[in-house]
Amino acid sequence: MTTIFGVALPVLTGQFLIGLINGSFYALLSLGLAVIFGLLRIVNFAHGAFYMLGAFAAWMLLNYAGIGYWGALFLAPLVVAVVGMVIERTMLRALYGLDHLYGLLFTFGLALLLEGGFRHYFGTSGQPYAAPEALRGATNIGFMVLPNYRGWVVLASLVVCLGTWAIIEKTKIGAYLRAATENSTLVQAFGVNVPVLLTLTYGFGCALAGVAGVLAAPLFQVSPLMGSNLIIIVFAVVVIGGMGSILGAIVTGYMLGIVEGLCKVFYPEAANIVVFVIMAIVLLLRPAGLFGKDS
């Protein structure tokens, strides 16, 4: 059997794949955080809760409305986006002029409210959610056997991430968004409705978390606490990447997922903390983060 550094190749590629999948979620979530932070200057602590909400929306659509995976993939993020936009319109908006820390504290409370609520009504044990018919089974791709659904998750998250990047960098609405990030007063003076832009941006960021939630539903169980531990790792990812850059958030997300996966092969005891250790090292060497511009 082929070995690399004394580790069997299937083990290595298997963990690499797991890392890539975790990285897909890190990338999707940190991308949403970066988009929201860029314009609203709010660190969305509720991002993990919106991810959980996306998974639960898919589960509820299946069990209460009979809508399957493919429908949920479009509807669930929409539900999450609407919830996010309502919250932005009614409450979050009041905090824009204040210290950024209040936004963090408010969304922290929101995360507790959502997770506490779901835990109260659904319990802590996870709900199973089956992968769609078309993506079951596995394909042998020569050097390893790839479960189809996992391959789909990596592909889908890549498409969503690159699509988001293209929208922000290459379209008119993306140009508005980038301009408003630089100087929202001036953009408003040019006749762009900035308050609506803020609401849509928050909704879009939340929808990205919702997409991640639907993608995660067949992989992990749908549980109220699925987002709360993930969000802390994603925060570390965001600190490592620096929140200034969209592409930076995506690249750092995938990179750290893979590093974490490989760490499970070579030094499993540290796999849980490797992201945090990298964060500390990056902060000591490059406080602004790998892709950060701000000081």
Partner 1 sequence: MSATHADTIVMPTRKSPVPAITFAGLILILAILPAFVYPIFVMKLLCFVLFAAAFNLLLGYTGLLSFGHAAFFGGAAYVTAHALKVWQVTPELAIIAGVVTSIVLGLIIGVVAIRRQGIYFAMITLAMAQMFYFFCLQAPFTNGEDGIQGFSRGNLFGIIDLNETMNLYYFIAAVSVLSLALIWRIVNSPFGQILRAIRENEPRTISLGYSAQRFKLAAFVMSAGLTGLAGALKALLFQFATLADVAWQMSGEVILMTLIGGIGTMAGPVVGAGILVGMQNFLATSGLPVTMVLGGTFMICVLLFRRGVVGEFLHLLERRKG
**Is residue 65 a contact point for partner 1 (CB under 8 A)?**
no
Query: Toward partner 1, which CB reaches closer, 186 or 277?
Result: 277
Q: Which is nearer to partner 1, 92 or 262 (CB)?
A: 92
96 CB-contact burial (10 Å; exposed 0-12 / middle 13-18 / buried 19+):
middle
Q: For partner 1, which stretch binds (CB under 8 A), given 52-60, 67-75, 196-204, 229-237?
A: 229-237
Among 14, 60, 96, 108, the residue binding partner 1 under the rule CB under 8 A is 108
Q: Any contact of residue 125 with partner 1 (CB under 8 A)?
A: no
**Minimum distance of partner 1 from residue 116's CB (angstroms):** 3
Judged by CB under 8 A, which stretch of 2-10, 52-60, 181-189, 269-277 contacts partner 1? Answer: 269-277
In the bound state with partner 1, the residue whose beta carbon lies nearer, of 104 and 156, is 104
Binding mask 16-55 for partner 1 (x = CB under 8 A): ---------------------------x------------
Of 13, 96, 102, 135, the one binding partner 1 (CB under 8 A) is: 102
Q: Select from 55-63, 66-74, 192-200, 268-276 the region that touches partner 1 (CB under 8 A).
A: 268-276
